[in-house]
């Protein structure tokens, strides 16, 4: 059974499943890149009128719609698409063999601590709102992150980034001076 939750972004809804949606972590897909996708579930979802972006995580999927699209039309279509997939498949939508390797150099102790704070203290809170945060780089005291899913383009995301993420990282990792969205 699929349940929905609203997010702080009015153009994004979180669709929760008791089944595993992704066993490779969180991945984001945008409509503009849909032609190059091999995953038919994601490709079809992105081709729905009004769907702009899809974020898949372990037990939820977030859909970000265009301003003009209506949730009254889209919500039942997304639920139906998810239900149809799980009626016909016993495996997650994103399986291990699709996993992209992260090319970041995690040998640096400061970077390891930043990633640990992001994974343990920040990512769970961001996931509750239907999004994700990905570490991109750390240079000269500046952490660059990417906000995904419901968080990308959300009116409150800059405030979340500066007041929440930046404050937590500065508290736990003294080398951090600021956080910027990539």
Phi, psi of 118 (to 5 degrees): -60, -45
Number of Cβ within 10 Å of residue 19's Cβ equals 15
Residue 98 is predicted with a pLDDT of: 38
pLDDT value at 76 more than 60: yes
Q: Where does CATH 3.30.300.130 sit in the chain?
A: 109-181
Residue 85 is predicted with a pLDDT of: 94
Residues 52, 31: Cα–Cα separation, whole Å: 5
Q: Where does CATH 3.30.1370.70 sit in the chain?
A: 2-98
Domain 109-181 has CATH 3.30.300.130: yes
Residue 83 is predicted with a pLDDT of: 94
Q: Mean per-residue pLDDT for 144-153?
A: 79
Rg from Cα positions in the chain: 17
pLDDT value at 122 more than 90: no
| CATH architecture of the domain with range 2-98 | 2-Layer Sandwich (3.30)
């Amino acid at each position: 059974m699929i349940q929905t939750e609203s997010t702080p972004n009015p153009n994004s809804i979180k669709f929760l499943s008791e089944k595993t949606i992704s066993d490779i972590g969180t991945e984001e897909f945008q409509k503009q890149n849909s032609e190059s996708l091999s995953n038919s579930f994601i490709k079809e979802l992105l081709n729905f009128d009004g769907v702009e972006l899809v974020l898949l995580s372990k037990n939820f999927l977030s859909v970000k719609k265009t301003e003009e699209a209506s949730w009254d039309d889209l919500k039942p279509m997304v639920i139906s698409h998810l239900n149809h997939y799980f009626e016909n498949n016993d495996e997650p939508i994103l399986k291990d063999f699709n996993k992209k390797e992260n090319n970041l150099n995690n040998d640096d102790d400061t970077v390891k601590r930043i990633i640990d704070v992001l994974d343990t203290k920040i990512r769970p809170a961001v996931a509750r709102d239907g999004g994700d945060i990905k570490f991109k780089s750390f240079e000269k005291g500046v952490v660059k992150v990417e906000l995904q899913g419901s968080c990308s383009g959300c009116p409150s995301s800059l405030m979340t980034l500066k007041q929440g993420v930046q404050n937590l990282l500065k508290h736990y990792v003294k080398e951090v001076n600021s956080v910027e969205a990539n």
